[in-house]
Amino acid sequence: MAKILICDKMDAAALDVIQNRWGADVKIGQTPEELADNIGPYEAVVIRSATKVRTPAIDAGKNLRVIIRGGVGIDNIDHEYARGKGVDVRNTPNASSDAVAEIALAHMFALARNLHKSNVTMRNGEWLKKKYKGIELAGKTLGIIGIGRIGQSLAKKASALGMKVVAFDAFVDKSPLDFVTMVGKDELLAKSDFVSLHIPSSPEGYVIDSKEIAKMKDGAYLINAARGGVVDEKALIEALDSGKLAGAGVDVWEKEPTDNVDLPKHENACVSPHLGASSAEAQARVGSEVVKVLEEYFD
């Protein structure tokens, strides 16, 4: 029987398949230290975004063959170190692309039409029809930083709405889509009405800080459904306070659960608690892809 450790919540149907075919231990909410203490017997570890698999846990995984990240980014795994130790690191890059692209678009719609504000004031019994005149997405320029699977999915949806799409990617020169124009990062920031981030976190720190925000178009909107730590939250609040940015859509946070009390309460911020991949369809696809990876190792 395979020794599999499930560290984060996953689709129930996929978990049933794993339990019935190979058996698995489910231990949710482990700290990196607890994982290092428990990982020894296991050949496979399955995580989502919450669990961090760092060097001590990899060293302690004497029987470890594969770490499976149910999702796209693998920055919560010391993946280069793991591979150097002969441990494979796999993810499920196709499963949640549409779901994350949709939540980025949802934030754009909410900000453009003031839904994040009017939803609250209506609940308070206020009818502020004249106050909340919005803008249309059609005809606006969307700048996508990171034109991978999620960025491409968002680009297709935005283009269908009549938006002009430009993109910057440090690793891509030629546009993967004929309707997307590749531009330099500074040009993208200066020209875009909406900027949406679809990049991993950087060991060098913030990708969008006060200097980058200063390069953005006055009155633009910033959307982050990528990774917490990509955007300097303090600088973002300052830009919202000053009016440099008209609004921000934030799904991912520097610390999760966030201890930032100011940004969620800001009237020009549309916020969500890391819901990007949290659709029933995406969760099912993630679970199915995790099962396929396990089949490669244990069938």
> What are the structural domains, with CATH classification, of the chain?
4-93+280-298 (3.40.50.720), 97-271 (3.40.50.720)
Tell me what pLDDT residue 2 has: 85
Tell me what pLDDT residue 14 has: 97
What pTM was estimated for this model as a whole?
0.91
Selected catalytic residue, list 107, 116, 198, 274: 274
* Cis peptide, bond prior to residue 257, ω within 30 of zero: yes
Which residues, 6 or more positions from 268, have their beta carbon under 8 angstroms from its beta carbon?
240, 245, 246, 247, 248
Tell me what pLDDT residue 72 has: 86
Selected catalytic residue, list 227, 233, 254, 285: 227
The token pair that represents 33 in the structure block: 């230290």
Tell me what pLDDT residue 203 has: 85
Rounded Cα distance, 247 and 108, in Å: 9
227 catalytic, yes or no?
yes
Rounded Cα distance, 77 and 253, in Å: 18
266 catalytic, yes or no?
no
pLDDT in tens, the chain (299 residues): 789 999 999 999 999 999 999 999 999 999 999 999 999 999 999 999 899 999 999 999 999 999 999 998 898 999 999 999 999 999 998 899 999 999 999 999 999 999 999 999 999 999 999 999 999 999 999 999 999 999 999 999 999 999 999 999 999 999 999 999 999 999 999 999 999 999 998 888 999 999 999 999 999 999 999 999 999 999 999 999 999 999 999 999 999 999 999 999 999 999 999 999 999 999 999 999 999 999 999 98
Which residues, 6 or more positions from 297, have their beta carbon under 8 angstroms from its beta carbon?
2, 43, 44, 65, 66
Q: Are 224 and 217 in contact, with CB atoms under 8 Å apart?
A: no
Nearest to 66 by CA among 88, 38, 92: 88
The token pair that represents 262 in the structure block: 């100011």
Containing H/E element for 17? Answer: helix 12-21
Site of tokens 């017997």: 41
Tell me what pLDDT residue 61 has: 97
Site of tokens 């993109």: 167
Tell me what pLDDT residue 94 has: 87
The token pair that represents 55 in the structure block: 């060097």
Query: What pairs with residue 231 in β-bridges?
Result: 208
256 catalytic, yes or no?
yes
Nearest to 159 by CA among 185, 173, 177, 134: 177
Which residues, 6 or more positions from 296, have their beta carbon under 8 angstroms from its beta carbon?
none
Rounded Cα distance, 192 and 155, in Å: 13
Nearest to 90 by CA among 107, 110, 73, 108: 73
Residue type, 42: Y
Selected catalytic residue, list 33, 256, 267, 295: 256
Q: Write the DSSP string, 99-160.
A: HHHHHHHHHHHHHHTTHHHHHHHHHTT---TTTT----STT-EEEEE--SHHHHHHHHHHHH
Tell me what pLDDT residue 56 has: 98
The token pair that represents 44 in the structure block: 């496979």
Tell me what pLDDT residue 202 has: 86
Radius of gyration from C-alpha coordinates of the chain: 21
Q: What are phi and psi of 182, to 5 degrees?
A: -80, 135
